[in-house]
Chain A
Amino acid sequence: MNFLRNSLAITYKDLRSEIRGKDTINASLSFSLVILLLFSFAFDPDSDEVREISGGLLWLVFAFASSLILSRSFARELINDCLDALISSPISPAELFFGKAIANFVLLLVVELVCLPVFGIFYNVQWARQFPVLLLVVMLGTWGMTVIGTLFSAMTVNLRLREIMLPTLVYPFIIPVLLGAVQLSKVLIGGEPVGADNQVWFRLLVAFDVVFTLLAVAFADTVLVG
């Protein structure tokens, strides 16, 4: 119970700061919308080719958007040495990590939910037809990216080139998440239900999220204190 309470205190603090400053979400959202717009010039919205690559396009945008949000996650704690104040407090590194991961997840999900209708308009796809299942896939994929990204955000927080290092380290690790999310999104955006042959991607997403959440929580102390 304490774990959740302390984690949510960190989540609340991060979201409150972001609502006041809006620097991260504005940058991430505008960047995502510009990419969606630019890609729409490159493809004919009525072609079958767009249907085939729609899932990939969408998750490419989400992955780029995530790197902007995640790189600021622990970097914002460096101002006024707030990270030291948190680490010397009784909150455990796992609670700190988990709270920050939830805040990043919420921020990224907001960006994604704004991008989805825009994606539907630009690429002429029926994204809303299977929306509840698509939302589940988006949430599972986003949590997978967030949990890995938050861990690497903590690891790279003291690096001078963290904005470059973070995506370089994160993207190879989230390939399984992207594979699963892209495959499922492609089917759902096409307005079709997820068939039995695609269930394996669901299982992959769930397993990835569970395993990497547990690993990240277990290694949070080593990452933050050394």
Chain B
Amino acid sequence: MASATGVAIEGVWKFFGDYPALRDISFTVDRGACLALLGRNGAGKTTLLRILAGLSNPARGRVTLLGKEARAVETRRRIGVLGHGIGIYDELSAFENLRLFARLYGLENPPKIAQDWLERTGLDRVQDGLVREFSRGMRQRLAVARAFLHNPALLLLDEPFTALDDRAIRVLQQLLEEARSRDCTIIMSTHQLREALELASDVALINRGRLAFRGERSAEMLQDPAWLYRNYGEA
């Protein structure tokens, strides 16, 4: 029987030189939950998300995603990552980019999957155009398609709404709602408190590398998004 825990973080430390960017972070996220990972700039949100995505190893501690190690192939097959960079090749066309990642994720019929996602994100008309010729909004929609094309069971999103145009925001919101409806676990770091809290079921606040708060999203957080920072953030 599958564990109810989607993500388990146990005693994670990360150092940059002598500076501890993460200090003994421990918490769990249930499967199907949506966690808003909050914190000021430099708090350690991106560092934690990079460790969860298997892009960096913790100095100490352990991370388990969907019951397996973060770097296990089976885990990576089931996670979708959308970071600060779009992770898309400028010298390839939109179609070639999505087909490449569909192949790397071992999906059946990569050309069809690439085609389907180009249609879903409204990029089918420019599918053979090189990404370097795309507008910023088109590139962002392509990045969203890349992160979602394998229907991940866990989504790790680092500032997903930052610098998105209105169309890309609509596409992302729709995909997140669909992901939630199929019990996908979501961890999303963001500064856009209201949007994040409306979507989230859980909240974690990181303050200077330490976990300052972890709990369910409450009604008072929705009414006053700054409440969390006032009560648990640094002065």
Instruction: Please tell me which one of the listed residues A16, A79, A86, A225 contacts residue B71 in the complex, with CB atoms under 8 A apart.
Output: A225
Interface pair A87/B54, CB less than 8 Å apart? yes
In the assembled complex, which residues on chain B have CB atoms less than 8 Å from the CB atom of A47? none
A6, B103: Cβ atoms closer than 8 Å: yes
Q: How far is the CB of B101 from chain A (nearest CB, A)?
A: 7
Q: Is A214 an interface residue (CB 8 A)?
A: no
A84 at the interface (CB under 8 A from B): yes
From A6, A17, A88, A221, contact of B89 by CB (8 A): A17
Of A13, A81, A88, which is within 8 A of B54 by CB?
Answer: A88
Is A118 an interface position by the 8 A CB rule? no
SS class, residues of chain A in contact with chain B: helix
Q: Quick check: is A215 within 8 A (CB to CB) of the other chain?
A: no
Please give me the residue from chain B that is nearest to A93 by CB atom. B71
**A67-105 Cβ-contact flags toward B at 8 Å (1 or 0):** 000000000000111101111111110000000000000
Q: Is the CB of B81 closer than 8 A to any CB of chain A?
A: yes
> Does B83 lie within 8 Å of A90, measured CB to CB?
no
Chain A residues with CB under 8 A of B87: 80-82, 84-85
Residue of A2, A5, A21, A81 near B91 (CB, 8 A) is A21
- Chain B residue at minimum C-beta to C-beta distance from A96: B104
Docked complex Cα distance between A89 and B55 (Å): 10
CA distance A177 to B87 in the complex (A): 36
B88 beta carbon closer than 8 Å to chain A: yes
A20 at the interface (CB under 8 A from B): yes
Give chain B interface residues in 187-234, CB to chain A under 8 Å. Answer: none
Q: How far is the CA of A8 from the CA of B73 in the complex (A)?
A: 18
Q: Which residues of A contact B100 (CB under 8 A)?
A: 9, 13
The reply to whether the CB of B130 lies closer than 8 angstroms to some CB of chain A is yes
Known: A87-B55, A90-B73. A81 touches B86 (CB 8 A): yes
B101: contacting residue among A2, A84, A89, CB under 8 A: A89
> In the complex, which of the residues A21, A80, A85 has the most CB atoms of chain B within 10 Å of its own CB atom?
A85
Beyond the given pairs A79-B90, A88-B79, A225-B54, 14 more chain A to chain B contacts, judged by CB atoms under 8 angstroms and listed by A's residue number, are A5-B103, A80-B85, A80-B86, A82-B85, A82-B88, A82-B89, A84-B87, A85-B146, A86-B104, A88-B54, A88-B76, A90-B77, A91-B104, A92-B73
